[in-house]
């Protein structure tokens, strides 16, 4: 049987074996070693000999990406080219190019750096380099690049109003130069000569648009009556009930949910603080998940894109729905978090429990496992009371306060 995301996640190798292979299809398999490492391999024949092509490490390379890479290699094989030999030739060309221009160095850095990042974030960083940096300095000898040249690149990005992107471009270039120094291509990093704050405009911190608590009843009723796609309506309902970050919601996979235990366990790779997070699910949240299941099944993403089911729906889907309901500039997906925090404090819930459920705490490696389930019974009770409170607000047009709900 072909592999599934759940099977890949749960795949293990017995301690008494050197490796275990989990077969997908078309020669693709996942090789697991006792230490927990999981490596994609593609088995094929070329020139009468059996060969294997390494396709990356799971979960950095997902099942869907591994299949697409296998299919690309198949096309190459049918054209008469050995995929392993082609990969080796590419490495040799890149090694030669590293000694000359910035772009090949940057791509080599990205290949090295992305292994510990989410595919989505890694793709974003590469696209920003391709859009803003490579056109300016990609073909210039890396040894000739100086701090003023890098600053000119950042200033050009800043002139279009993208202050944050300008600073990130500077920081990314700094990482690329450190990689070049570490690999003997440069003697020093020119990005260290100037700090972004020395020349770029300071970022003006803005808060996400959010409604007042008294405006929530109307919003909840509009969500219930939303005439857009059912998936978008359900995503807003789940957002209100769980108040997770938008990115955490839209990229959620079914294998993160235990509906019997009424828990959503978000892996550290998808969390801002890079530690796992548990979201206790109210009975209302479980009902929403059941509706999503009935609508889209129990495989892969809860909220996949309309065209590409291997990718999550757009970050702007919820924002666009709120805009269509008349909340442009007044409410965002992130705004549900602020409203929840305000109301839960007014209801008398403890600040540290609210902050923990919002996943605001900075955590170190020692405390991460402890914080994962800290105050879970209290948080479970709080999340159910929150869901019940939303029901009351939605059903009562005159429900403007939380009088009588304060806790002792």
Domains present along the chain, CATH in parentheses: 5-84 (3.30.160.390), 98-199 (1.10.150.130), 213-395 (1.10.443.10)
Does the annotation count 334 as an active-site position?
yes
> Chunked in runs of 10, what are the mean pLDDT values of the chain (408 residues)?
92 92 95 93 94 92 93 91 84 56 91 84 89 92 88 85 82 91 82 73 59 89 92 93 92 91 90 83 94 80 83 88 90 88 87 85 46 80 95 72 38
Q: Which of 38, 114, 277, 334 is catalytic?
A: 334
Q: Which of 272, 274, 309, 407 is catalytic?
A: 272
CA 349 from centre of chain: 30
Does the annotation count 226 as an active-site position?
no
CB atoms within 10 A of CB 204: 6
Place of tokens 């190459």: 76
CB atoms within 10 A of CB 245: 21
pLDDT tens column, 94-120: 554 445 789 999 999 999 898 878 787
Report the mean per-residue pLDDT for the chain.
84
Does the annotation count 245 as an active-site position?
yes
C-beta separation of 239 from 333 below 8 A: yes
Q: Which of 49, 205, 207, 370 is catalytic?
A: 370
Q: Which of 195, 214, 345, 360 is catalytic?
A: 360
Instruction: For residues 390 and 403, give the distance between their C-alpha atoms in angstroms, rounded to a whole number.
Output: 14
pLDDT value at position 402? 41
Query: Which ranges of 16-162 does DSSP label H, i.e. alpha helix?
Result: 63-78, 83-97, 102-113, 119-128, 134-137, 147-158
C-beta separation of 372 from 364 below 8 A: no
This prediction's pTM:
0.50
Contacts of 225 (CB under 8 A, 6+ apart): none
Does the annotation count 179 as an active-site position?
no
Q: Which of 210, 245, 277, 296 is catalytic?
A: 245
Q: What would you measure as the largest C-alpha separation in the chain, in angstroms?
A: 79
Beta bridge partners of 312: 304
C-beta separation of 30 from 38 below 8 A: yes
Contacts of 205 (CB under 8 A, 6+ apart): none
DSSP 129: I
DSSP 69: H
Q: Which of 114, 277, 337, 379 is catalytic?
A: 337
């Amino acid at each position: 049987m072909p592999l599934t995301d759940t099977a890949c996640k749960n795949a293990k190798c017995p301690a008494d074996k050197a490796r275990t292979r989990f077969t997908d299809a078309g020669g693709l398999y996942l090789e697991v070693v006792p230490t927990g490492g999981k490596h994609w391999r593609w088995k094929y024949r070329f020139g009468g000999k059996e060969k294997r092509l390494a396709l990356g490490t799971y979960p950095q390379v997902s099942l869907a990406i591994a299949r697409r890479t296998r299919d690309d290699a198949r096309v190459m094989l049918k054209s008469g080219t050995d995929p392993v030999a082609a990969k080796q030739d590419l490495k040799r060309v890149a090694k030669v190019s590293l000694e000359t221009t910035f772009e090949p160095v940057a791509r080599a850095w990205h290949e090295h750096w992305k292994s510990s990042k989410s595919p989505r974030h890694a793709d974003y960083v590469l696209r920003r380099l391709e859009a803003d940096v490579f056109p300016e300095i990609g073909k210039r000898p890396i040894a000739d690049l100086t701090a003023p040249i890098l600053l000119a690149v950042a200033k050009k990005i800043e002139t279009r109003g993208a202050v944050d992107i300008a600073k990130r471009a500077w920081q990314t270039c700094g990482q690329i130069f450190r990689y070049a120094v570490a690999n003997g291509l440069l003697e020093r990093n020119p990005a260290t000569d100037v700090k972004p704050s020395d020349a770029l405009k300071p970022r003006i911190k803005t808060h996400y648009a959010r409604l007042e608590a008294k405006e929530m009843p109307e919003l909840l009723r509009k969500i219930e009556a939303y005439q857009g796609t059912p998936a978008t309506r359900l995503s807003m309902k789940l957002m209100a009930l769980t108040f997770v970050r938008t990115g955490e919601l839209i990229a959620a996979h079914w294998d993160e949910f235990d509906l019997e235990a009424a828990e959503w366990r978000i892996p550290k790779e998808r969390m801002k603080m890079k530690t796992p997070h548990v979201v206790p699910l109210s009975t209302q949240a479980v009902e929403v998940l059941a509706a999503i299941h009935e609508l889209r099944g129990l495989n892969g993403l809860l909220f996949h894109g309309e065209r590409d089911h291997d990718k999550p729906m757009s970050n702007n889907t919820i924002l666009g729905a709120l805009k269509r309901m008349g909340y442009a500039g007044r409410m965002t997906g992130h705004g549900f978090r602020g409203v929840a925090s305000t109301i839960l404090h007014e209801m008398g819930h403890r600040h540290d429990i609210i902050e923990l459920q919002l996943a605001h705490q900075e955590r170190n490696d020692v405390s991460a496992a402890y914080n994962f389930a800290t105050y879970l019974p209290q948080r479970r009770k709080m999340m159910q009371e929150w869901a019940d409170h939303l029901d009351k607000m939605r059903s009562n047009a005159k429900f403007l306060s939380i009088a009588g709900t304060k806790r002792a």
